[in-house]
Amino acid sequence: MKILHVNTNDISGGAARAAFRLHESLLQNNINSQMLVAEKKSDITSIIALSNENLIKKIKNRLYKVILNKLSLGKYEKTISKYWGPFSPQIISNKNLAKNINEINPDIVHLHWICADFLSIEDIAKINAPIVWSLHDMWAFTGGCHLVASTTQMCDKYIRNCGNCDFLGSKKTKDLSFKVLQRKKKAFMKISNMAIIGVSNWMAGCAKKSALFSDKKVVCLPNPLNTGVFKPMDKMQARILWNLPKDKKLVLFGAVLATSTPYKGYDLLVEALNEISSQNVEFVVFGSSEPKNSPKLSHKIHYLGHLNDDVSLVSLYSASDVMVVPSRREAFGQTASEAMSCGTPVVAFEIGGLPDIIDRKTNGYLAQPFDTSDLAKGIDWVLNSEHYDDLAKKAREKTVREFDYGVVAKKYIELYEEVAND
């Protein structure tokens, strides 16, 4: 069986890492798997980058994309919400992408994150092979947003028809979000064989309720993790590597652009950190350098910047006593599964995919959504637990049992075979 994963990037960003890990796990299970990407940063031969254009063509195509996006989003520039990430109309594709996919002639095309003008809505319907689509955010079934725009109750307009879009700050029924959703409806109706994967029960549930996927096959399959790489190492040795104190309890937080991406919840974490009662504590942040207006806390903060490899992540997770994931939205929660695989308990809000990973007071703590006092309570509870070693052991056991490459790859292979035979 020949599987082709399609993602905008190969290793940059959470969706790319999830797609690559699935690709790698399939290769380890003797499946013919490849990735097709717009931007390739690795030197892995099974990852195919679209052919490079000459400089003049690149400039022309870039200008074309900028002009089209300006025309579609321009009227909303003053009202569009930047809080929840991008809004993607996906009017155009990377040139000849659908044609390139069909020339590779896979048995299954596995779509992942395809935005940033990589694959247009209309070109999805031009793919000949059966499609499996992993939802790493909500874009596939919304009118263009990747995370629905609300800090409290979630917007549910994607269940019926988008329009009057909070994300766009629009009061019109037939606004851009309505038009994007209608384009998706028209395109997806042309696809006879498509299965949708929610990477968590929450994401699968949202997809099943949506106007676009309510009549499609929707399943829940997690992102896989190489637990042979993400495994505990000696805590003191890890701290020596990072020049972190040996005699402190370390609270870890990290994400891409950790301190500047609002939905990752850094502001909520800061509130919680000011409430923790545990003494002799220091905080560690990865994915971001120290911001200009660094928060005033009673405990020292170590900002470690962006990490480029799994070995660095493993050593940092192992060096820490607890990982905190204070996200407002999380399709799955890869940093949670990574930390737990390294034997580090996790504290998070009970939202999105995180309850699939964390079992409250068994391998971590799930706080009431956006209640920073409860988040602080969870951090204190882990740091001061009389059964900390058991928490760490059960965290590791959960990831090996449910997210290991071998376990998860078999489930994906079963789905591929089922879809290919439909």
Nearest CA among 356, 321, 412 for reference residue 1: 412
Reported confidence tier of residue 383, pLDDT bands at 50, 70, 90: very high
Q: Are 225 and 338 within 8 A, CB to CB?
A: yes
Nearest CA among 223, 232, 230 for reference residue 407: 223
Indicate the helix (H) or strand (E) that contains 217. strand 217-220
Enclosing domain of residue 321: 235-402
In a domain, 385, yes or no: yes
- Mean pLDDT of the region 337-354: 98
DSSP alpha helix (H) spans, 189-247: 201-209, 235-242
Longest Cα separation, the chain = 64
> What is the three-state SS of 65-90?
HHHHHHHHHHHHCCCCCCCCCCECCC
Provide the β-strand partners of residue 323. Answer: 252, 346
Provide the terminal-to-terminal Cα distance of the chain, rounded to the nearest Å.
15
144/248 same-domain check: no
Q: Tell me, what CATH number does 28's domain have?
A: 3.40.50.2000
* Beta strand residue intervals within 241-345, DSSP E: 249-254, 281-286, 301-303, 322-325
Residues in the chain: 422
- Mean pLDDT of the region 382-393: 97
Q: What is the pLDDT of residue 149?
A: 63
Tens-digit pLDDT profile for residues 239-287: 999 999 999 999 999 988 888 888 899 999 999 999 998 889 999 999 9
Reported confidence tier of residue 123, pLDDT bands at 50, 70, 90: very high
84/164 same-domain check: yes
- Is 299 or 212 the better-scoring residue by pLDDT? 212
* Residue 78 to residue 322: CA distance in whole angstroms: 40
Confidence check: pLDDT of 63 > 70: no
In a domain, 229, yes or no: no
In a domain, 286, yes or no: yes
Reported confidence tier of residue 228, pLDDT bands at 50, 70, 90: very high
* Residue 33 to residue 370: CA distance in whole angstroms: 40
* Residue 416 to residue 408: CA distance in whole angstroms: 13
31/127 same-domain check: yes
Q: What is the pLDDT of residue 65?
A: 60
Instruction: State pTM to two decimals.
Output: 0.93
Q: What is the pLDDT of residue 92?
A: 82
Q: Both tokens of residue 203?
A: 């994401």
272/171 same-domain check: no
In a domain, 200, yes or no: yes
Q: What is the pLDDT of residue 222?
A: 98
58/203 same-domain check: yes
Stretch among 15-24, 51-60, 297-306 having the lowest mean pLDDT: 51-60
The domain total for the chain is 2
